[in-house]
């Protein structure tokens, strides 16, 4: 089946070695910031190969508050210490603006904000020279 799907529902899905895609379906704020951080760690721990990059599929994220921004700053440091890059795909402009106000956008780096999940996968495959045939490349 073409697309990017939840592996818990589609256990036979192909996975890109070293890349973890995690969809977050809520705003990031004080009440769920630690849950988000735990889900990121769980996704990395469950990956079948050592993780080099985690991409948050963030289209549903409508807001990020200062508590979540502080958590993201700590998470970026933790992941960098593990040689894992944190990126976002499909993050809305106003939410990026909030990250800029909090100083997190610059910390993560503009190149880690991708317009689509497909673009994030393509960027990863190219950056790490991973053998991968993406379904989006099919005519």
Model confidence pTM above 0.85: yes
As a whole number of angstroms, the longest Cα–Cα distance in the chain is 44
Q: What does the pLDDT read at residue 134?
A: 60
Chain-centroid distance of CA 32 in Å reads 16
List, for residues 97-112, the tens digit of each pLDDT value: 999 999 999 999 999 9
Q: What does the pLDDT read at residue 5?
A: 66
Picking from 120, 121, 117, 134, the residue whose alpha carbon sits closest to that of residue 23 is 117
List, for residues 35-53, the tens digit of each pLDDT value: 999 999 999 999 999 999 9
List, for residues 76-87, the tens digit of each pLDDT value: 999 999 999 999
Q: What does the pLDDT read at residue 133?
A: 66
DSSP assignment, residue 64?
B
CATH number of 19-130: 3.30.750.24
Q: Name the band, by pLDDT with cuts 50, 70 and 90, for residue 66.
A: very high
CA gap 69, 41 in Å, rounded: 17
Domain ranges of the chain: 19-130
Q: To the nearest whole number, what is the mean pLDDT of the chain? A: 91
């Amino acid at each position: 089946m073409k697309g990017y799907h939840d592996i818990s529902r589609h256990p036979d899905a192909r996975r890109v070695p070293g890349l973890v895609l995690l969809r977050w379906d809520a705003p990031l704020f004080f009440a769920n910031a630690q849950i988000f951080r735990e889900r990121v760690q769980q996704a990395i721990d469950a990956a079948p190969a050592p993780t080099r990059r985690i991409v948050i599929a963030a289209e549903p994220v409508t807001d990020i508050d200062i508590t979540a921004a502080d958590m993201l700053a700590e998470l970026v440091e933790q992941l960098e210490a593990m040689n894992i890059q944190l990126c976002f795909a499909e993050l809305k402009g106003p939410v990026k603006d909030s990250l800029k106000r909090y100083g997190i956008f610059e910390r993560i780096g503009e190149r880690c904000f991708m317009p689509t999940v497909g673009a994030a996968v393509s960027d990863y495959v190219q950056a790490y020279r991973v053998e991968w045939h993406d379904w989006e490349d099919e005519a």
